Amino acid sequence: DAGLMTVKGRELLAAADTVIYDALAGDGIMGFIPGTAKQIYVGKRSGFHSASQEEINRILVEEGKKGGLVVRLKGGDPFVFGRGGEEIQSLSAHGIPYEVVPGVTSAIAALSQAGIPVTHRGVGQSFHVITGHTAVGAGDGDSLTGGFDQYARLPGTLIFLMGLSNLEKIVENLIKYGKDPRTPAAVVTNGTLPDSRCVRAALSSLPEAVRRAGLKPPGIIVVGPVAAFSMSCKKELPLSGALVGI
């Protein structure tokens, strides 16, 4: 949702000479870019990468050396699995000055919009954001680069980003290492957008519920008691139920 972009981020974007942007930058946010700015797409989506990280680093250095205001636009926060640190190391190595503008991470925003609080007193007193893209190995299904034996014992809220294609393996390994199969869980897709969808189920039933609903990546997986909440206002707005054609 473009409204969730920080004021500082929007101001810099509006003044940019060059914008290097990702796949998850929505149309609303792209609308903040001035028509005079040079736009370079370096987005990555599951199964398709338009540019390697090395190529992105090279572009950032190349554009940074030209001068002007260069904005590296990322989805969410640059340091939440956004490889912002790698890009900064590349800029630093070439003596290019930079400024980091924190962003709103989907790990919190998408769940909040779906009515799921990441913490709640007496129910979920911590939350843990885990990559679901590399947490499951490409081997025989038991090859884990993450610590599922530790994740399964955590009492708080588990949030997996970029893991929808690995949902079955994530669920299987959480249960394998001791997570109660009845633990409330959910998947949210297209978080904070008008077509956002949320499917809730017990952990063991989540993959089948997601299949039935036809949810597709990108999505966020949440596991923990808070997933049973639906803190969305039920009060009808003035146009609720109305069909408007333009």
Q: What amino acid positions are annotated as catalytic residues? A: 22, 44, 162
Q: Taking the CB of residue 171, how many other CB atoms lie within 10 A of it?
A: 24
How far apart are the C-alpha atoms of 192 and 197, rounded to whole Å? 9
**C-alpha separations of 47 from 7, 43, 86, 210, 218 in Å:** 33, 12, 21, 20, 11
CA dihedral over 37, 82, 79, 87, signed as positive or negative = negative
Amino acid at 35: G
- CA–CA distance, 200 with 81 (Å, rounded to integer): 25
Separation between Cα atoms, residue 59 and residue 51, nearest integer Å: 10
